[in-house]
Amino acid sequence: MAKELKELTKREVNYSQWYNDLVIKADLAEQSAVRGCMVIKPYGYAIWEKMQQQLDKMFKETGHVNAYFPLLIPKSFLSREADHVEGFAKECAVVTHYRLKNSTEGKGVVVDPEAKLEEELIIRPTSETIIWNTYKNWIQSHRDLPILCNQWANVLRWEMRTRMFLRTAEFLWQEGHTAHATKEEALEEAVKMLNVYAEFAEKYMAVPVIKGVKSANERFAGALDTYTIEAMMQDGKALQSGTSHFLGQNFAKAFDVKFLNKNNELEYVWATSWGVSTRLMGALIMTHSDDNGLVLPPQLAPIQVVIVPIYKNAEQLDLISKTIEPIVAELKQYGISVKYDDADNKRPGFKFAEYELKGVPVRLAIGARDIENGTIEVMRRDKLEKSVEQLEGISSFVKKLLDDIQENIFAKALAHREAKTIQVDTYEDFKEKIEEGGFILAHWDGTPETEDKIKEETKATIRCIPLDGDKTPGKCMVTGKPSKQRVIFARSY
17 near its own copies, judged by CB under 8 A? no
Task: Yes or no: say if 65 and 178 are a contact pair by the CB < 8 Å rule.
Answer: no
Nearer to its own copies by Cβ, of 42 and 469: the residue is 42
Least distance CB 92 / its own copies (angstroms): 5
**C-alpha–C-alpha distance, residues 57 and 127, integer Å:** 22
Q: Which of 72, 384, 411, 419 binds its own copies (CB under 8 A)?
A: 72
79 near its own copies, judged by CB under 8 A? yes
Would you put residue 96 in left (φ > 0), alpha (ψ -120 to 50) or beta?
alpha
Q: What are phi and psi of 389, to 5 degrees?
A: -120, 165
Task: Tally Cβ neighbours within 10 Å of residue 435.
Answer: 10
Least distance CB 45 / its own copies (angstroms): 5
x/- letters, 303..332, toward its own copies (CB under 8 A) = ------------------------------
Q: Which of 26, 51, 73, 308 binds its own copies (CB under 8 A)?
A: 73
Least distance CB 90 / its own copies (angstroms): 6
Q: What three-state secondary structure class fits 287? A: helix
Q: Which of 22, 23, 26, 78 binds its own copies (CB under 8 A)?
A: 78
63 near its own copies, judged by CB under 8 A? no
Nearer to its own copies by Cβ, of 77 and 444: the residue is 77
62 near its own copies, judged by CB under 8 A? no
x/- letters, 233..252, toward its own copies (CB under 8 A) = --------------------
Q: Which of 21, 62, 69, 408 binds its own copies (CB under 8 A)?
A: 69
Q: Which of 8, 23, 38, 308 binds its own copies (CB under 8 A)?
A: 38
- Tell me, rounded to whole angstroms, the distance of Cα 186 from its chain centroid: 24
**C-alpha–C-alpha distance, residues 211 and 243, integer Å:** 10
149 near its own copies, judged by CB under 8 A? yes
Task: Yes or no: say if 485 and 465 are a contact pair by the CB < 8 Å rule.
Answer: yes
| Residue 484, CA distances (Å) to 209, 261, 319, 444, 446 in order | 22, 36, 69, 8, 8
- Hey, which residues between 95 and 114 contact its own copies (CB under 8 A)? 95-102, 108-109, 111
Give the binding range for its own copies (CB under 8 A) out of 14-22, 28-36, 377-385, 457-465: 28-36
Q: What are phi and psi of 194, to 5 degrees?
A: -60, -40
185 near its own copies, judged by CB under 8 A? no
77 near its own copies, judged by CB under 8 A? yes
Least distance CB 17 / its own copies (angstroms): 20
Long-range contacts of range 35-44, CB-CB < 8 Å, 24 or more positions apart?
Answer: 35/162, 35/169, 36/158, 36/159, 36/162, 36/168, 36/169, 36/170, 37/168, 37/169, 37/170, 38/164, 38/165, 38/168, 38/170, 40/172, 40/278, 43/302, 43/358, 44/281
- Tell me, rounded to whole angstroms, the distance of Cα 202 from its chain centroid: 12
Q: Which of 1, 7, 17, 39 binds its own copies (CB under 8 A)?
A: 39
Q: Which of 7, 14, 63, 143 binds its own copies (CB under 8 A)?
A: 143
Least distance CB 171 / its own copies (angstroms): 10
Least distance CB 220 / its own copies (angstroms): 18
Task: Yes or no: say if 146 and 186 are a contact pair by the CB < 8 Å rule.
Answer: no
Give the DSSP letter of residue 301. -
74 near its own copies, judged by CB under 8 A? yes
Nearer to its own copies by Cβ, of 148 and 365: the residue is 148
Name 151's Cβ contacts closer than 8 Å, sequence gap at least 6. Answer: 66, 67, 68, 69, 127, 131, 174, 175, 176, 177
Task: Yes or no: say if 259 and 269 are a contact pair by the CB < 8 Å rule.
Answer: yes
Least distance CB 87 / its own copies (angstroms): 12
58 near its own copies, judged by CB under 8 A? no
123 near its own copies, judged by CB under 8 A? yes
Name 384's Cβ contacts closer than 8 Å, sequence gap at least 6. Answer: 290, 292, 356
Q: Which alpha helices (DSSP H) does 297-422 contain, by range?
A: 314-333, 348-357, 368-373, 394-419
Q: Which of 8, 40, 301, 487 binds its own copies (CB under 8 A)?
A: 40
Q: What three-state secondary structure class fits 154? A: strand
Least distance CB 158 / its own copies (angstroms): 4
Least distance CB 290 / its own copies (angstroms): 26
Q: What three-state secondary structure class fits 201? A: helix
Number of residues lying near its own copies (CB under 8 A):
63
Would you put residue 256 in left (φ > 0), alpha (ψ -120 to 50) or beta?
left
State the residues that interact with its own copies by CB under 8 A: 30, 32-34, 37-42, 45-46, 49, 65-79, 85, 89-102, 108-109, 111, 120-123, 130, 133-134, 137, 143, 149, 153-154, 156, 158, 170, 172, 345
